[in-house]
Structures are given as structure tokens and as C-alpha cells.
């Protein structure tokens, strides 16, 4: 395998393994109609599961948040 390809794959793997930070901003209140936090737009299930999620799962939540806002 070429060295540049190995480097790109290693870099991609490193990005996947680096967990994104929590989107929590300290405004923690669940909106009754939507079920989303008023501060970060996560659901209560997403908030509760966050510490156990993989980096890929966390990124998927962050991607969904962009659509919610």
C-alpha cells in the first residue's frame, strides 16, 4: 500500500475515533411539544445516551441537530 494512502486512512480513522464534544450549552429544558432540549436540541434519550455513544454515533446526533435548528 502506498504511504500517502496509508496516511490518509490513518487520518480518517483518527477523526472517527476522536469523539465530538457535547453540544450542551447549559440551557437544559425539554420543550413539551417537540421533546427537544431548548439549549442543544437533543432529545432526552440522546442526552442520556451521549456518554456511552461512539464518536460515529455522536457525529450522527450532531448532524441531526443541524436539521432540527
Tell me what pLDDT residue 18 has.
84
Q: What is the pLDDT of residue 69?
A: 82
- Write down the domain spans for the chain: 3-68
Mean pLDDT of 14-41: 91
Average predicted confidence (pLDDT) for the chain: 88
pTM given for the model: 0.72
Helix axis angle, 3-17 to 55-68, nearest 10°: 70
Which residues make Cβ contacts (< 8 Å) with residue 62, sequence separation at least 6? 20, 23
pLDDT at 13 (0 to 100): 60
Amino acid at each position: 500500500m502506498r504511504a500517502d494512502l496509508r496516511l490518509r486512512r490513518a487520518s480518517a480513522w483518527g477523526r472517527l475515533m476522536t469523539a465530538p464534544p457535547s453540544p450542551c450549552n447549559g440551557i437544559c429544558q425539554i420543550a413539551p411539544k417537540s421533546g427537544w432540549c431548548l439549549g442543544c436540541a437533543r432529545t432526552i434519550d440522546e442526552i442520556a445516551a451521549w456518554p456511552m455513544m461512539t464518536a460515529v454515533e455522536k457525529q450522527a446526533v450532531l448532524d441531526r441537530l443541524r436539521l432540527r435548528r
